[in-house]
Structure 1
């Protein structure tokens, strides 16, 4: 199992990218349309936000799950007992957002959604016929007009040295949604679990775009595409003093979309959120 960056402009990009998703649950793109400068600007402006007391004015709405989630309510990964060492902000176009941050984050949200539509088309066109027959509608259509797609601005604070034993920045987990799109973070730490149980570092060169399969696409494809376990490990040595900002976009279908005979997207999401303890 090996993760290599695929050139978005390559004539075989779709084939190579989807093959990586099939084999590892992850794909890495380079030379893609998302501008590095915009990502860098978002990292810098949101770092300032997380460092300020302003974040307390945007504490999340429990019913709609938009806004700032302090570390005290951070997620506990399924099968774990310790909270992740992180705080984060949930951005939806319809949700709350600081006025001075909204324009840039919304533009990024729209651009990345457009790219996601193309990548879902790649996945569908490269799916074998026996897999495609499981799709109840075109994959890219599943996210059309969805107000559930979530942009999460994650802040992993510097380690203070008094963290709970065994607590890490993000414990091993799988994503719930169709696919996740993530620009390489400003610090390394993301790892994916190989089929032999070992952990591989995901290439974190700034400018790479990391895409992974979520549980909903695994369900919709009859488990052809694997929702691979991944985690964010704690830094060591001098790196413990560094923050880490991460910007995953979780592509969620409309709640009425049928994933399989067993689940709609809405019922699947509610089941998983209950397991995570966030509802």
Structure 2
């Protein structure tokens, strides 16, 4: 039976069955929803509290932590800076990026993997989001192991590919929508750049994916569940066997337009020096290799950051 809606899957299910269910959902929608992912609810609650507190700070205080010329790699990116590829206006959002801290002398230290920026307030910001970064990374590795099996690979195939990867935890704030939005929406239709994205659900609705039939489908995870979607890097690696699906965050209507929306996506990235080579099992006479030219994950990332206005 073809899937009609996004299933809610448990990461504690039988591994073989979970691989099949995840693969089927990703193959159909580019998205899945998962529960029992191992993120500590108390840690998550603290993360939400600190996110709201930080974005409530005065604009001048937040801008102290903006680093020009970094493409938003770390720290604060002000409202109205990011634009969906091909969109005429910027998204209605501001955000903060937490990345991986590499030790001095590490071979992957580069302008695209700079040290983290940590604000003076609120208290506990660094400790909380360092712990959440690690928890998201662990959940993401477990999901990639199931994807690997679905692709006919060893369960640990992705482990070296993501070791010390350029992953990013984004804290997102969509402020109340005013009447002068001039056609902008909270997040314009786009695909993610990275390997997979793990998103903690927001209290406010609005996330929608574009089905293969060309219809917008609302994605509403139950409390505590993660929304997981395929990014362009995994689409490229699998020769589009697993699709990177267009999605957006639409503006709320009525009284809800006066409420902020917060979300917390974790963009799981490959190592910067990983070289793309299309998986042989994803190349067939009906689906020839779309990407015979090999580039690094960082080359690909920088190209896409320029397209969305962050560089």
Question: TM-score normalized by structure 2?
Answer: 0.82
Instruction: Output the CA distance in 2 between the equivalents of 1:60 and 1:199.
Output: 36
Asked if the contact 1:78/1:173 (under 8 Å) is kept, the reply is: yes
Deviates more, 1:224-233 or 1:85-94: 85-94
Q: Which residue of 1 aligns with 2:5?
A: 2
Unpaired runs of 5+ residues, structure 2, are 102-114, 278-291
Structure of higher RCO (CA pairs closer than 8 Å, 6+ residues apart): 1
More helix by percentage? 1
Q: Which residue of 1 aligns with 2:296?
A: 264
* CA drift at 1:61: 4.2
Give me the whole-angstrom Cα distance separating, in 2, the residues matched to 1:150 and 1:116.
12
Aligned residue in 1 for 2:221:
204
Q: Which moved more, 1:247-256 or 1:258-267?
A: 258-267
Which of 112, 124, 142 is the aligned partner of 2:161? 142
Task: Please say if 1:229 is aligned against 2:246.
Answer: yes
- 1:97 correspondence with 2:129: no
Q: Please name the residue that 1:69 is paired with.
A: 77
After superposition, where does 1:183-194 map in structure 2 within 5 Å? 183-194=200-211
Secondary structure of the 1:6 match is strand
Shift of 1:224: 0.8
Structure 1 position 37, deviation (Å)? 3.0
Which aligned pairs between 1:1-279 and structure 2 lie closer than 5 A? 1-11=4-14, 12-53=17-58, 54-63=61-70, 65-73=73-81, 75-92=82-99, 93=101, 94-99=115-120, 100=123, 101-128=125-152, 132=153, 138-146=157-165, 148-164=166-182, 166-260=183-277, 261-262=292-293, 263-279=295-311
The offset of 1:140, in angstroms, is 2.7
Q: Determine helix, strand or coil for the equivalent of 1:247.
A: strand
- Matched residues, number: 270
Q: What is the Cα-based RMSD across aligned positions, in Å?
A: 1.7
Deviates more, 1:14-23 or 1:235-244: 14-23
Question: How far 1:149 moved relative to its partner?
Answer: 0.7
User: Which entry has the higher C-alpha Rg, 1 or 2?
Assistant: 2
Structure 1: runs of 5+ lacking an equivalent:
none
Q: How far did 1:44 drift?
A: 1.7
Aligned counterparts of 2:203 and 2:62: Cα–Cα separation in 1:
21
